[in-house]
């Protein structure tokens, strides 16, 4: 059995922009709904959602049947969490809250087997090796693993060049909500000073030869960031799609009812 190729990592290496969608509902059924929508990548969010390891596994298995690439975000830059994510078959990880080159290097070490890193060996017991059916997994997996680190603070921006220079970091994801808050503009990711910081980060990431990504629900900003050089841009979140869609549907129903009642009164 052959190691599955990482289409997402190849797209970044070739400079092809990838449109993504955030999965926070936390179950395989909703993940499959999104997987068939045509997005290039889907983010399984283990940081700001109730998704546990078993749910992550089920979502990875579901998404694997579709062309979309799965990106998994563990709750923290923690060696055990990263090991478990890799063992259940995740090939691309987005590690949150990275502020220094040392923290980025820690994430890289957690992705790699000794002697190049400190990842524990699950061998034939884990899905990543297809339960021992990929005989050369330990030797070949590094080429198909992709590490994205999330920069979302002023300190992270200050150290962005050093973070990007760490061998093994494939891309940098700018976290606009946390960044806006840390810069003094909570709830204002579109504030001019925040946008300036984001665009500077995109430019610096590209100058260091690494792929840059972001999440924004504003289509105009998404296009603006992509034109600036973002290669992986998430443009939606399943929870938000459900919440706003449900609200709009109810508002439309009530508005139509009110209009009909008004017309009938004449």
- CATH class, range 7-239: alpha beta
Q: Which tokens is 67 given?
A: 């062309």
Q: How far apart, in whole angstroms, are the C-alpha atoms of residue 170 and residue 210? A: 6
Q: Which tokens is 226 given?
A: 């992509």
Half-sphere exposure of residue 192: CA atoms within 13 angstroms, side-chain side: 0
Examine the residue annotation and report whether 106 is marked as an active-site residue of this protein. Answer: no
Q: 142 pLDDT band (50/70/90 cuts)? A: very high
Interval 170-222: pLDDT, tens: 999 999 999 999 999 999 999 999 999 999 999 999 999 999 999 999 999 99
Statement: residue 11 has pLDDT above 70: yes
The string of DSSP letters for 172-206 reads EEE-HHHHHHHTT-TT-TTSHHHHHHHHHHHHHHH
Statement: residue 39 has pLDDT above 90: yes
Q: What is the pTM of this model?
A: 0.94
227: Cβ contacts below 8 Å, ≥ 6 apart: none
What integer is the mean pLDDT of 134-151?
96
Statement: residue 265 has pLDDT above 80: no
Look at residue 256 in the predicted model and tell me its pLDDT: 85
Residues facing 192 on adjacent strands = none
Q: What is the residue extent of each domain of the chain?
A: 7-239
Look at residue 260 in the predicted model and tell me its pLDDT: 72
Look at residue 257 in the predicted model and tell me its pLDDT: 75
Look at residue 266 in the predicted model and tell me its pLDDT: 67
Q: Which tokens is 130 given?
A: 């297809």
Catalytic residue among 27, 30, 48, 127: 48
What integer is the mean pLDDT of 3-25?
97
Phi, psi of 226 (to 5 degrees): -65, -45
């Amino acid at each position: 059995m052959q190691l599955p190729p990482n289409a997402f990592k190849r797209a970044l290496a070739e400079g092809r922009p990838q449109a993504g969608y955030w999965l926070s509902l936390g179950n395989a059924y909703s993940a499959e709904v999104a997987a068939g929508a045509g997005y290039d990548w889907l983010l399984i969010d283990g940081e700001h959602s109730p998704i546990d390891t078993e749910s992550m596994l089920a979502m990875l298995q579901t998404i694997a049947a579709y062309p979309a690439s799965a990106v998994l975000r563990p709750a923290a830059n923690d060696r055990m969490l990263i090991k478990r994510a890799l063992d259940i078959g995740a090939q691309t990880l987005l590690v949150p809250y990275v502020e220094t080159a040392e923290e980025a290097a820690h994430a890289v070490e957690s992705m790699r087997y000794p002697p190049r890193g400190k990842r524990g060996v699950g061998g034939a017991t884990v899905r990543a090796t297809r339960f021992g059916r990929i005989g050369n997994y330990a030797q070949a997996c590094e080429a198909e693993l992709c590490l994205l680190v999330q920069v979302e603070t002023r300190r992270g921006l200050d150290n962005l060049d050093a973070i990007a220079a760490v061998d093994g970091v494939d891309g940098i994801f700018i976290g606009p909500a946390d960044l806006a808050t840390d810069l003094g503009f909570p709830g204002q990711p579109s504030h001019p000073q925040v946008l300036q910081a984001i665009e500077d980060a995109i430019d610096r990431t590209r100058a260091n030869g690494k792929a840059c990504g972001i999440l924004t629900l504003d289509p105009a900003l998404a296009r603006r960031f992509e034109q600036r050089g973002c290669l992986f841009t998430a443009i939606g979140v399943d929870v938000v799609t459900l919440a706003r869609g449900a609200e709009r549907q109810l508002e439309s129903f009530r508005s139509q009812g009110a209009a009909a009642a008004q017309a009938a009164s004449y």
